[in-house]
A and B are shown apart, each in its own frame.
Chain A
Amino acid sequence: MVERTPILNILTDLILLSGLILLLGPIYLVFVASTQTLQEVSAIPARLLPSSHFFENLSTVWQQSDFQTKFLNSLIVAVGVTLGKITIAGITAFAIVFFDSRARMPVFWLIFITLMLPLEVRIVPTYAVAANALSPFQTMLDGLGITALVRGLTGIEIALDWSLLNSHVGLILPVIATATGTFLYRQFFLTIPDEMVEAARMDGAGPLRFLWDILVPLSTTNMAALATIMFVSGWNQYLWPLLIITDPAYSVVALELRTLIPDGSTTGGGIPYWNLAMAGALIVMVPPVLVVIAMQRWFVRGLLNTEK
């Protein structure tokens, strides 16, 4: 809009700039701390200009906390979660929208209910299941009397046991179902005109062909948006790995932050290695931030689409 509002324009820039400073400021301080030596970072009052030990600190913390393994684990988990969520949400929405089945509405509501149950809410039962992923089946067999029957007939005790603790599968599987993703796809699939479905059918395309050749290409924007959001959430998982991972070989980077907290800077405990802690924090932050900045356009457009 063409208007002459010089004072307001300056004000606008000032407000936006202070917003940027508010958001970037803490990260700048983190960066500054990560470039300093222990003496510099412990100086009172703190120094606000970067020093020259950035890469030194990075490599120290990288080796000290074995970030290489954890970085790889985080990457495996984040990519696994992303791919799994995109696929599962896509085919679920496909089934819900395009197939006339009696189970359609009940399934839709079942999925909707899980929206109300984020992992934090169902953490106790999820942990119990993850400790032995086959325990629901065991209960079922016990309840139906099959365990007793088999024991009586053959003398073999059925004891199903498949622990997901300390494994990549355990980090990926329990979080892979996503109601949000399913809804995103559903909203989009609902906008596809019936004529298109009929045209595809008339041309002899079966459901799978329709999914692969029409729906998938049409929903690439959705997928990109969903992938960005899910990659970030997969990488940033914290509570779940904290519970099920005890073996450092399967640990993820976010978890490592916990061990980096320089304890006792005020209580008189150990030496506060803030410089190393901040370097570690940067290592954890950077990959998802890069993804979001790179995918910015799709990511925002995807969110816009969910709003409509």
Chain B
Amino acid sequence: MRVSLLYAVGTAALGMGLALVLALFADRQLAGYRLYRVGMIWPYAVAAPAIGLAFRYVFNPSAGIMSYLNAVLPGLWDPVMTGWQSLLMIIIAGAWKNISYNFIFFLAALQSIPRGLVEAAALDGAGVTRRMRDIQLPLMAPTFFFVLVINIADSFTDSFGIVDTMTVGGPARATNLLVYRIYSDGFQGQNYSSAAAQSVILMALVIALTVLQFRFVERKIHYT
């Protein structure tokens, strides 16, 4: 349970932070904007298990780029043995998966800000970074909150593919996320009742998040 929360917070913070910075700068629409946009969007389509397998290779202590690190400092990086490194690894993979989704929503939010508002601020002498901080960021708050909820709910349910291909819940259950436990207890351990009970917990979490989001969306939408 603690691991699930750590994973949720970790992926949301990392994925949203990076996506936010990228969206803010991409929205300046300098040369190459379209290229950047396509470049940021496509990871949305990559399957979670494929990401898992890819990052398992990238972070493999003896085969991927981490072999450089381990050649200098042997034994420093070994996610197969070290719990927190293994967790860090799946958090990075999970965040990588979420960046493009978040980016799309942030960019959309930025582009729905009335142009006149930003221009007025520019006329008042606010520079680019000042406008980002005082106009664009506050106006993005609703989207930010929406994306946060989606990210957390996603990390509870959609993390299965990553965990299953990267760590199989190990080492010593350090990456045993709730959704993976439901699978391993229920369908590998044949303990359906335990899996069902854990499903109820997962369901409660997801429902709480959805209610939170819906209340907020209700408040936000004004058609007239």
Contacts and interface: CB of A to CB of B under 8 A. Distances in A.
B149 interface: no
Contacts of B203: 116-117, 121-122
B44 A232 contact: yes
Given A46-B65, A238-B48, A20 B157 contact: no
B36 A20 contact: yes
Contact of A30 (B28, B54, B143, B206): B54
Given A46-B65, A293-B38, A307-B112, A261 B96 contact: no
A266 B60 contact: yes
B167 to A, nearest CB: 11
Nearest to B122: A1
Grouping DSSP codes into helix (H, G, I), strand (E, B) and loop, the B interface class, with mixed when no group exceeds half, is: helix
Nearest to A190: B223
Nearest to B47: A236
Contacts of B55: 26
A214 interface: no
A41 B67 CA distance: 11
Contact of B99 (A23, A265, A291): A23
Centre residue among A120, A236, A254 by max chain B CB count within 10 A: A120
B3 interface: no
A280 B53 CA distance: 10
Contacts of A274: 57, 60, 63
A288 B49 contact: no
- Tier of interface size on chain B: 35 or more
Given A23-B96, A292-B42, A284 B50 contact: yes
Centre residue among A22, A121, A278, A307 by max chain B CB count within 10 A: A121
B47 A46 contact: no
Contacts of A22: 18, 96, 99
B47 A300 contact: no
Given A12-B25, A284-B47, A304 B108 contact: yes
A195 interface: no
Contacts of B42: 289, 292-293
B206 A118 contact: yes
Contacts of A121: 157, 199, 202-203, 206
Contacts of B108: 300, 303-304, 307
A307 B64 contact: no
Interface in A1-25: 1, 3, 5, 8-9, 12-13, 15-16, 19-20, 22-24
Contact of B164 (A125, A258, A272, A291): A258
A300 B57 CA distance: 31
Contacts of A267: 80
Contact of B53 (A16, A242, A281): A281
Interface string B119-152: 1001000011100000000000001000000000
A200 interface: no
Interface in A118-158: 118-125, 127
Interface in A241-291: 242-243, 254, 257-258, 260-261, 265-267, 272, 274, 277-278, 280-281, 284-285, 288-289, 291
Contacts of A176: none
B196 interface: yes
B216 interface: no
B220 to A, nearest CB: 10
A298 interface: no
Contacts of A120: 156-158, 160, 179, 182, 202
Closest 6 CB pairs of A and B: A236-B47, A288-B45, A120-B157, A292-B45, A238-B161, A289-B45
10 contacts: A8-B128, A19-B39, A20-B39, A23-B39, A124-B192, A238-B164, A242-B183, A243-B187, A272-B63, A274-B63
